[in-house]
Amino acid sequence: MGDHTEVTARARVLRRLHDLHERERALLPEIRAQLAATPPGGYHDQLEAHLEETRVHIRALADRLAELGHRNGSLLSGVISVVQSGVAHASARRLTPLDLLRPSDPEERVLQRARHSAAAHAANIADYRALERIAHAAQDNVTQTLAARLGAQEQERFDAIIAEIPALTDAL
């Protein structure tokens, strides 16, 4: 690869890593809210595991960003980070004010949040697969391996949430 191509490829890797890091961080308050609203049982246990897994993903992504020399020191990067975090938080929640005001019973809300969580996981799976390909093109084997590992964990969590849908539906 030429110098310009290497710089562009590295910038793509950094941007995707940063976006995933911000999106994972934005999930924490949503997972905590779901935990508070979910009765003990299978899905609650899945949420507890998801919270810990998300923390691990945040650390792994932050560590990789640091290894690649990414810093958020400038005012511009701080502003960009705040905006990206807000967008990531909004997309992670995927709940509109109407969803929150809709008169539904608690079991219906738990099912609704599980559906939203499954959708968020599907988006993360796609993003980790994209990062894996971008890292491969950039010849960044470490990031490629990290993306494959985190993407596989997201897939496992997605499958576990989908497996809970019948029980959550039966509880209606």
Cα separation, 7 vs 134, in Å, equals: 13
Cα separation, 152 vs 76, in Å, equals: 33
Residue 129's nearest CA partner among 156, 117, 147, 142 is 147
State the Cα angle at 114 between 113 and 115, rounded to 5°.
90
pLDDT of residue 52: 95
- Chain CA centroid to CA 101, Å: 25
**Domains of the chain, start order:** 3-170 (1.20.1260.10)
DSSP 8-state class, residue 103: -
Cα separation, 86 vs 81, in Å, equals: 8
> For 96-115, how does the pLDDT look when each residue is reduced to its tens digit (9 = 90+)?
445 555 536 888 888 988 99
| The pTM of the whole model exceeds 0.85 | no
pLDDT at residue 12 tops 60: yes
> For 15-63, how does the pLDDT look when each residue is reduced to its tens digit (9 = 90+)?
999 999 999 999 899 899 888 888 888 889 989 999 999 999 999 999 9
